[in-house]
C-alpha cells in the first residue's frame, strides 16, 4: 500500500513529525480525550467486537448512539453530526468555481 500524502510529509520532515508527536501525546493525556477513549472502548466491548480482529468498530451516530461498522468505513465516514457539518461548511457557500476563471 502506498503512503498517504501526510505520511510522506512526516517521513520527509523529522522536525514536523517530532512536533506533531509531542502535541498528540499532550492531547491524548487530556481528561476529555481519556474519557472519550474509555467510552469508546466500553461501547466496543458491549458490542462484542473489542480485540477480536473482526474488522468491525463502533461508529458514533450522535447522542451516545453507537453502530457497528467496518473500521475502514468508519474512518472515512462523513456523518451528519454538528461538528462535521461545521467542518464541511454550508451547502453551496463559496463553491461556485472561484478558482476557475475560464482562462481570462
Q: Is the pLDDT of residue 103 over 70?
A: no
Sort residue 23 into left (φ over 0), alpha (ψ -120 to 50) or beta. Answer: alpha
In the block, residue with C-alpha cell 492531547: 27
Comparing 1 with 48, which gets the higher pLDDT? 48
Q: Is the pLDDT of residue 47 over 60?
A: yes
Q: Is the pLDDT of residue 25 over 70?
A: yes
Radius of gyration of the chain (CA): 19
The pTM of the full predicted model, rounded to 2 decimals, is: 0.55
The C-alpha cell at 87 is: 467542518
How many angstroms separate the first and last alpha carbons of the chain? 41
Comparing 12 with 80, which gets the higher pLDDT? 12
- Chain centre distance of CA 48: 22
Amino acid at each position: 500500500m502506498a503512503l498517504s500524502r501526510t505520511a510522506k510529509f512526516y517521513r520527509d520532515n523529522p522536525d514536523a513529525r517530532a512536533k506533531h508527536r509531542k502535541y498528540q501525546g499532550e492531547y491524548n493525556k487530556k481528561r476529555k480525550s481519556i474519557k472519550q477513549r474509555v467510552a469508546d472502548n466500553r461501547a466496543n466491548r458491549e458490542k462484542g467486537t473489542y480485540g477480536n480482529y473482526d474488522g468491525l468498530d463502533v461508529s458514533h451516530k450522535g447522542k451516545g448512539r453507537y453502530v457497528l461498522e467496518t473500521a475502514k468505513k468508519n474512518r472515512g465516514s462523513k456523518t451528519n453530526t454538528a461538528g462535521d457539518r461545521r467542518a464541511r461548511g454550508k451547502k453551496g457557500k463559496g463553491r461556485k468555481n472561484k478558482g476557475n476563471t475560464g482562462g481570462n
